[in-house]
Amino acid sequence: MTTTTGVPTLVRGRLGPALPFLVGGVLVVVMAVLPLLNISIPGILPGPTYTPGTLALLSLCLVFAALALSYNLLLGTSGMLSFGHALYFGAGAYGLGVVLRFLEVPLWPGILIALLGGLVIALVTGSVAMRVNGIPFAMVTLAFAQAGSVLVRRNQQITGGEEGLRLPVEHVPDWLVGVANTRNLYWFTLVVLVVVYLVVLWVDRSRLGHLAQATRENELRVQVLGLHPYRAKLAVFVVAAGCASLSGIAYMLLQSGTQPSAVGADLTITVLVMVVLGGVGFRWGAIVGGVLYTILDQRLTVLARAEWIQDLPGILRVPLSEPLFLLGVLFILVVLFLPGGIAGTVDAAVRRRRGERTRSELARMDDSAEPRSEVTA
pLDDT in tens, 301-313: 777 777 777 777 7
> What is the Cα Rg of the chain in Å?
24
pLDDT tens, position by position, 218-269: 888 888 888 888 899 999 999 999 999 999 999 999 999 898 888 888 888 8
The answer to whether the CB of 223 falls within 8 A of the CB of 67 is no
Average pLDDT on 153-163 reads: 88
The average pLDDT across 289-294 equals 92
- CB neighbours (10 Å) of residue 348? 14
Split at pLDDT 50, 70, 90, the class of 119 is very high
Query: What tens digit of pLDDT does each residue of 10-61 get?
Result: 434 455 566 677 777 888 888 899 898 888 888 788 888 889 989 999 999 9
Identify the burial level of 299 via C-beta atoms within 10 angstroms of its C-beta, where 0-12 means exposed, 13-18 middle and 19 or more buried: middle
Q: CA angle 75-78-81, nearest 5°?
A: 40
Domain residue ranges of the chain, discontinuous segments joined by +: 52-363
The answer to whether 38 and 50 have CB atoms below 8 angstroms apart is yes
Helix axes 182-205, 207-217, angle to 10 degrees: 70
How far does CA 149 lie from the centroid of its chain?
22
**CA separation for the pair 66, 275 (Å, rounded):** 11
Listed residue (214, 274, 369) closest to 66, CA to CA:
274
Task: Give bridge partners of residue 165 from the DSSP assignment.
Answer: 258
Lowest mean pLDDT among 89-93, 145-149, 196-200, 225-229: 225-229
- CB of 266 closer than 8 Å to CB of 142: no
Name the pTM for this structure. 0.87
Instruction: Please write the tens of the pLDDT for every residue from 10-19.
Output: 434 455 566 6
Q: Does the structure show a pLDDT above 50 at 1? A: no
Confidence of residue 124 (pLDDT cuts 50, 70, 90): very high
Class of domain 52-363: mainly alpha
Q: What is the mean pLDDT of residues 126-152?
A: 92
Say how far apart CA 177 and CA 98 lie, in whole Å: 18
Q: Look up residue 25 and give its DSSP letter.
A: H
* pLDDT grade for 370, boundaries at 50, 70 and 90: low
Burial grade of 215 (CB within 10 A; 0-12, 13-18, 19 or more): buried
Highest averaged pLDDT of the listed ranges 113-127, 165-179, 343-357: 113-127
Q: Crossing angle for the helix pair 19-33 and 182-205, nearest 10 degrees? A: 170
Residues 6+ apart with CB under 8 A from 262: 86, 89, 90, 93, 94, 248, 251
The more confident residue out of 86 and 262 is 86
pLDDT at 136 over 80: yes
Provide, rounded to the nearest whole percent, the portion of the chain with pLDDT above 90: 42
330 pLDDT higher than 50: yes
334 Cα distance to chain centroid: 18
Reported as a single tens digit per residue, the pLDDT across 191-209 is: 999 999 999 999 999 999 8
227: left (phi over 0), alpha (psi -120 to 50) or beta: beta
Average pLDDT, the chain: 85
For residue 132, the SS3 value is coil
